[in-house]
């Protein structure tokens, strides 16, 4: 049992909004809020010698998760980890080279899924991190877990690395949908278990990151984004019906409304390209939304930042709203600009 179970939900504004309650001033957190823009994070990462070493050391990962809560008092803490923990647990080797993106070996573009041997115990440090953070968070702070959505995770598993257009994965999905479907199914099954275990360790709400959802045609989006996310939501709700699920299909554009209706998620995250006025009009009435400040506006600061914040607040004034960025915070973001946004949102 984790430390926050005795706290009345009414003290957790973020959790309440994700469950459909409207707040006059939205709660807030920022994607990638525990990261390289913070000097305390850079110091700890240098000490640990790399990302994976940091993410798999529960005490260090817990410390990173807590750093932005101590500094800024955000309404939500997001677990410090990575979406590629699931492919690592499915049996691919994961590495983060200096100055490079992540690498997964062997890439499934030319190796069968059956060649992998799952190692689910690789996820055990994550659950321990959750337990440590849950025991240390302020009573009013909502604890958010996450996983990558199957399509986005599959793009890394197939190509072995990130790519600009996800061509290798999109081609495989067209060429051999049965083989690609087995990869999606394996990710889906592991993700349900992974998120359920996070919740059992102390997580209160989860987010599904689909960073590359925008690269798919409408029919492929239905098959490889909406359907597997709906399966995850159904599987997770069967085990933990009270834990809200935020879906974040970056780049979905006009397909966002279908995603919101068909996946069963409790809330939808909006990237910075989505017009908040359009979203308020097109998304299901009363559905909580999260977003969607441009991370570059946060870097720019000044009047441009103030106006961007005000536009978002005005658009969602009558809807349950979690203020956030439209994607992860950039490592070059001035801390003073983060403080300015917090002040403006909270009035």
Which residue numbers are catalytic?
32, 36, 45, 82, 156
Helix (H) or strand (E) holding 249: strand 245-249
**137: which residues sit within 8 A by CB, 6+ positions away?**
3, 4, 66, 69, 77, 143
Token code pair at residue 56: 């798999």
Burial class of residue 227 in the structure, from the number of CB atoms within 10 Å of its CB (0-12 exposed, 13-18 middle, 19+ buried): middle
Total residue count of the chain as it appears in this document: 347
Question: Mapping DSSP to helix (H, G, I), strand (E, B) and coil, where does residue 73 land?
Answer: coil
- Contact at 8 Å (CB) between 237 and 264? yes
Q: Other CB atoms closer than 10 Å to residue 121's CB: what's the count? A: 8
- Contact at 8 Å (CB) between 117 and 171? no
Q: Give the closest residue to 197 by CA, choosing from 240, 231, 234, 154.
A: 240
Phi/psi at 206 (5° precision): -130, 155
| Conformation bin of residue 32: beta by default, left when phi > 0, alpha when psi is -120 to 50 | left
- In whole angstroms, give the CA distance from residue 283 to residue 274: 12
- Contact at 8 Å (CB) between 17 and 217? no
Question: Mapping DSSP to helix (H, G, I), strand (E, B) and coil, where does residue 145 land?
Answer: strand
Q: Give the closest residue to 213 by CA, choosing from 199, 223, 205.
A: 223
- In whole angstroms, give the CA distance from residue 280 to residue 270: 11
Q: How many CA atoms lie within 13 A of 10 on its CB side?
A: 1
């Amino acid at each position: 049992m984790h430390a926050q179970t005795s706290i009345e939900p009414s003290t957790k504004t973020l959790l309440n909004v994700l469950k459909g309650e409207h707040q006059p001033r939205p709660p807030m957190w920022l994607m990638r809020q525990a990261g390289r823009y913070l000097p305390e994070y850079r110091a700890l990462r240098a000490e640990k010698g790399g990302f994976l070493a940091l993410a798999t050391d529960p005490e260090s990962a817990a410390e990173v998760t807590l750093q932005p809560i101590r500094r800024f008092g955000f309404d939500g803490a997001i677990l410090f980890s990575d979406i590629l923990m699931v492919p690592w647990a499915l049996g691919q080797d994961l590495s983060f080279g200096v100055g490079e993106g992540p690498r997964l070996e062997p890439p499934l573009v030319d190796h069968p899924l059956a060649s992998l041997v799952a190692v689910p115990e690789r996820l055990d440090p994550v659950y321990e991190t959750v337990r440590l953070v849950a025991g240390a968070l302020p009573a009013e702070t909502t604890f958010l877990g996450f996983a990558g959505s199957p399509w986005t995770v599959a793009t890394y598993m197939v190509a072995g690395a990130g790519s600009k257009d996800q061509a290798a994965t999109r081609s495989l999905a067209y060429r051999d949908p049965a083989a690609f479907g087995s990869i999606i199914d394996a990710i889906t099954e592991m993700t349900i278990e992974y998120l359920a275990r996070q919740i059992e360790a102390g997580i209160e709400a989860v987010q599904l990151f689909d960073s590359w959802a925008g690269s798919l045609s409408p029919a492929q989006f239905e098959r490889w984004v909406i359907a597997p996310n709906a399966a995850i939501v159904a599987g997770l709700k069967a085990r933990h019906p009270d834990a809200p699920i935020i879906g974040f299909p970056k780049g979905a554009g006009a397909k966002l409304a279908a995603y919101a209706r068909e996946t069963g998620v409790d809330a939808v995250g909006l990237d910075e390209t989505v017009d908040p006025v359009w979203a308020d009009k097109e998304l299901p009435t009363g559905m909580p939304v999260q977003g969607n400040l441009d991370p570059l506006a946060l870097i720019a600061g000044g009047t441009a930042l103030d106006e961007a914040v005000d536009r978002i607040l005005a658009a969602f004034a009558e809807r349950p709203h979690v203020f956030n960025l439209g994607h992860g915070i950039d490592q070059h973001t001035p801390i003073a600009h983060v403080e300015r946004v917090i002040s403006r949102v909270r009035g």
